[in-house]
Chain A
Amino acid sequence: TQLLEQSPQFLSIQEGENLTVYCNSSSVFSSLQWYRQEPGEGPVLLVTVVTGGEVKKLKRLTFQFGDARKDSSLHITAAQPGDTGLYLCAGASTSGSRLTFGEGTQLTVNP
């Protein structure tokens, strides 16, 4: 059974601070996706990383896939209140058929 451990579970910071969320597993994934979810809504895809060591930037968000494709991180620079939400990492199996999700990181950015 593939498992993804996400940390921290909760994060409350002030506007302008930087933060990093980690996603770790003992399993290899063919790709890893990061989603952001608002209360009562479905997860919205932020990025997909496929290649070991890959780094992708989306404005103030930087995503990295580990060399062994077992772990990933999300770094947010100069967080804003609009970044508040539940951040989920999800690993795809070799066929991409099923996603294994982490427990999520609930981020609150205070003005």
Chain B
Amino acid sequence: DAGVTQSPTHLIKTRGQQVTLRCSPKSGHDTVSWYQQALGQGPQFIFQYYEEEERQRGNFPDRFSGHQFPNYSSELNVNALLLGDSALYLCASSLAVGGYQETQYFGPGTRLLVL
């Protein structure tokens, strides 16, 4: 039973560039949530995708956008990168049951460094 997978594992970009991160959910899950974790802090919710639509969004600017595909995998795009976007980006998957999201399981994350 494959868990949540993310790619790439590490990425180095320069300010102003754009980046795309990818996530495949755990088998049987239909919902993907993205979180940003700065060094020494807890993860912060970015947004969640279900049925190929953004369902909830945290306090992140429009530079952060996403997409969910029919196979439930997801992408996180960040435009006009800033130094402060350097962080571990975590993807979590879950299963929607009766309008409620069950427990979220996390992938290993993508470490993004913006220079």
The answer to whether A100 touches B100, judged by C-beta atoms less than 8 angstroms apart, is no
Q: How far does the alpha carbon of A92 sit from the alpha carbon of B4 in the complex, in Å? A: 19
Chain A residues engaging chain B, CB cutoff 8 angstroms: 4, 6, 33, 35, 40-45, 48, 88, 90, 92, 95-104
Q: How far does the alpha carbon of A23 sit from the alpha carbon of B101 in the complex, in Å? A: 22
Task: Report if A104-B42 is in contact (Cβ < 8 Å); known contacts: A41-B108, A98-B48.
Answer: yes
Majority DSSP secondary structure for residues of B touching A: strand
Q: Nearest 9 A-B pairs (CB), nearest first?
A: A101-B42, A96-B101, A42-B106, A98-B45, A42-B108, A42-B109, A43-B106, A97-B56, A96-B100
Give the residues in chain B near A101, CB-CB below 8 Å.
35, 42-44
Task: Report if A103-B42 is in contact (Cβ < 8 Å); known contacts: A42-B108, A95-B101.
Answer: yes
The answer to whether A99 touches B45, judged by C-beta atoms less than 8 angstroms apart, is yes
The answer to whether B44 touches A98, judged by C-beta atoms less than 8 angstroms apart, is no
The answer to whether A44 touches B106, judged by C-beta atoms less than 8 angstroms apart, is yes
- Apart from A35-B106, A99-B45, what 11 extra A-B contacts exist at CB < 8 Å? A4-B42, A33-B104, A42-B90, A42-B109, A43-B43, A45-B103, A48-B103, A97-B33, A97-B56, A98-B56, A99-B43
Give the residues in chain B near A97, CB-CB below 8 Å.
33, 48, 55-56, 101
Q: Closest CB-CB distance, A96 to chain B, in whole Å?
A: 4
9 example contacts (A-B, Cβ-Cβ < 8 A) are as follows: A42-B106, A42-B109, A43-B106, A44-B106, A97-B48, A97-B55, A97-B56, A98-B58, A104-B40
The answer to whether B58 touches A41, judged by C-beta atoms less than 8 angstroms apart, is no
Task: Report if A98-B33 is in contact (Cβ < 8 Å); known contacts: A41-B108, A41-B109.
Answer: yes
Q: How far does the alpha carbon of A11 sit from the alpha carbon of B65 in the complex, in Å? A: 37
The answer to whether A96 touches B48, judged by C-beta atoms less than 8 angstroms apart, is no
The answer to whether B104 touches A99, judged by C-beta atoms less than 8 angstroms apart, is yes
Q: Determine if B102 is an interface residue (Cβ-Cβ < 8 Å).
A: yes
